[in-house]
Amino acid sequence: MSLIKRRDFLKSSLAAPMVAAGLGPSLSFAQDPYSKNIFVFVFQRGGIDGLSFLTPMDGHADRGYYEALRANGTMIPSAQLEALSDGWGLHPAAAPLKDLWNQESLAIVQASGLPWANRSHFEAERYAELGTPGNRLTQTGWLTRHMQTAINIPPEVLMPAIITESTVRYSFLREPSAVTMRYPSDFDFDSSYYEEEQESALEQMYGVESGELDVAGSQALAAMTLIETIDFNGYIPDNGAVYPARLNNPSRLTSFGEELKIIAQLIKEGTGVRLAQTDIGGWDTHNTQGNEGPDGWYYDNVRDLSESINAFFKDLDMPAPDGGSWADRTTMIVYSEFGRRVFDNADAGTDHGWGNNCLAIGGGVNGGKFYGNWLGLHDDFLFQGADVWATTDFRSIFGEMLLRRLHNNKLGDVFPGFTAEQYQPLGIFAGAALQPDFNDPDLIFRDGAE
């Protein structure tokens, strides 16, 4: 079957069942200026030590407390920090992110997280990705519910959501249009023998019914058709963007750098990506955290994070159809399930905490500023004398992004149980201010647990 025929087949066989099933993008076909905007969700798994990432410098009211709390090997000298403003400095390995700060493309929300402390990786990650803190049995992810309620995702988009991991993340739980793709070269049939026959049989199998499995199968075939035409190995990033190489194997990119490069290429190839998620792990630093230099674990992880994100937005800074640049259209949120305790432990590491930094980067971000309510490091301002308080609910950050960047005001549907009283927009994102809708979600979003 030719490429044109396959595309025609998939466009006709995929769109109808998706609409009939009420799954995937909610297709009212009405487009607005925000319909081309793209959201990239980066999850820092393990709970990054936010106090090492963003640190009070000499002259800041909390510097003395910080030095006393970090007496076992994780304290970073003020002179090594990348100065931002208001007495705060970035970790020395985060210098590439300072470029984005200076361009007013990076905003940092301090003291954010779950609405109450939870130091379990399993639970805290799931609460954040499901968008329902306190209920880890929710049957759909927050980005799934966004796609179900959005009215401005064009119907012709065949690959609206991409996850550059081997398995579906909870953010996209039960979203049949989300495609997982850890290695593009593996995104094909296992054998070249009878490939056309296999593909034709699968198209017939998945193209006639409207069940969730059929939609997912059709979506995978649609993505395969598109990906077959893309030369990932020959891709050269634009504007001299350099994604970081592995320290132990300079001929290969880091996993996170490779994943962001794939997302950038898919965006610029016009595949229609509107949502993407990727992970960067390794933040569970209970011992020998390694803030001190290129041989330290934390240092290397921050370097990977910062260089990859800097390269990603430099790569995307190219003209997009209908004006503007791909970078202007793309907004990123970097989030971790929780922070670390304010004091380090005897093993030169840090243990699970609560409040943390959340980064907003890219198009439509009112950057070069701090947001949120930072209370301080004095004992009187710490949760249980050990943690930074999370004074900003993560749903306020995600919700403001949905309203102003993706033009979806159904916050009560996307975040069941979230109320107007809890929602605290901070002005992080630029865009038309929709009136948020906190009506009780439809039964489709309920799972029996109130």
Cα separation, 255 vs 259, in Å, equals 6
Helices (H), 85-186: 95-102, 121-130, 142-149
pLDDT in tens, 184-232: 876 654 444 445 554 565 556 655 555 555 555 666 676 777 788 899 9
Specify the pLDDT at position 94: 98
Specify the pLDDT at position 158: 83
Question: How far is CA 250 from its chain centroid?
Answer: 26
Q: Does pLDDT of 287 surpass 90?
A: yes
Question: How far is CA 338 from its chain centroid?
Answer: 15
Greater confidence (219 vs 268) lies with 268
Phi-psi region of 59 (alpha: psi -120 to 50; beta: other; left: phi over 0): left
Q: Does pLDDT of 371 surpass 60?
A: yes
Strand 161-163 relative to strand 106-113, pairing: unpaired
Specify the pLDDT at position 304: 98
The residue type of 276 is: A
Place of tokens 């079957």: 1
Query: What average pLDDT score do residues 78-84 get?
Result: 98
Cα separation, 214 vs 446, in Å, equals 23
Q: What are phi and psi of 163, to 5 degrees?
A: -125, 115
Specify the pLDDT at position 228: 83
Angle CA(389)–CA(56)–CA(64) in degrees, nearest 5? 90
- Report the predicted TM-score, pTM, of the whole model to 2 decimal places: 0.87
The neighbouring-strand residues paired with 113 are: 393
* Average pLDDT value for the chain: 88
Cα separation, 422 vs 399, in Å, equals 11
pLDDT in tens, 138-176: 999 999 999 999 999 988 788 899 999 999 999 999 999
Cα separation, 38 vs 326, in Å, equals 9
Strand 178-180 relative to strand 161-163, pairing: parallel
**What domains can be seen in the chain, in order of their start residue?**
31-153+230-440 (3.40.720)
Cα separation, 205 vs 216, in Å, equals 12
For residue 22, what are its two tokens? 């009420």
Helices (H), 22-75: 50-53, 63-69
Cα separation, 187 vs 184, in Å, equals 5
Specify the pLDDT at position 137: 94
Grade residue 9 by pLDDT with cuts at 50, 70 and 90.
very low
Listed in sequence order, the residues at least 6 apart from 425 whose beta carbon sits closer than 8 Å to its beta carbon are 396, 399, 400, 403
